[in-house]
A = this chain, B = another copy of it.
């Protein structure tokens, strides 16, 4: 039983989470499902520029990690609902922390970026 993790180690399980969060589409899906139950098509609409293939991949990954629950109804036409699991909901907190930091400091980052671009170019 491992009791402590070292994020600096590439094979550390913590890295798993960072990879997932860092994934291009994960955040969008998690945020969209915040407090909502959505169908495949609804997710597509809300996220915008995502293709069905990529949305499916993202959803499958999230499902596999126990963050999102998928419920299919045997109807015609088909209906499938996605929602966050308890684990998925708990992920909203750290994501919120990142988001708050972003909203507070993005302008500084953008300023710095612009300033270095002037010189760099």
* Interface residue ranges, A against B (CB under 8 Å): 4-5, 7-10, 13-14, 16-18, 20-24, 27-28, 31-32, 46-49, 63-67, 87, 90-91, 93-95, 97-103, 105-113, 116-117, 120
Contact = CB atoms under 8 A, between A and B. Distances in A.
B112 A65 contact: yes
Given A14-B103, A94-B98, A97-B97, A65 B113 contact: yes
A113 B64 contact: yes
Contact of A87 (B5, B98, B105): B105
Contacts of A22: 18, 21-24
Instruction: Tell which of A24, A64, A116 has the most Cβ of chain B within 10 Å.
Output: A64
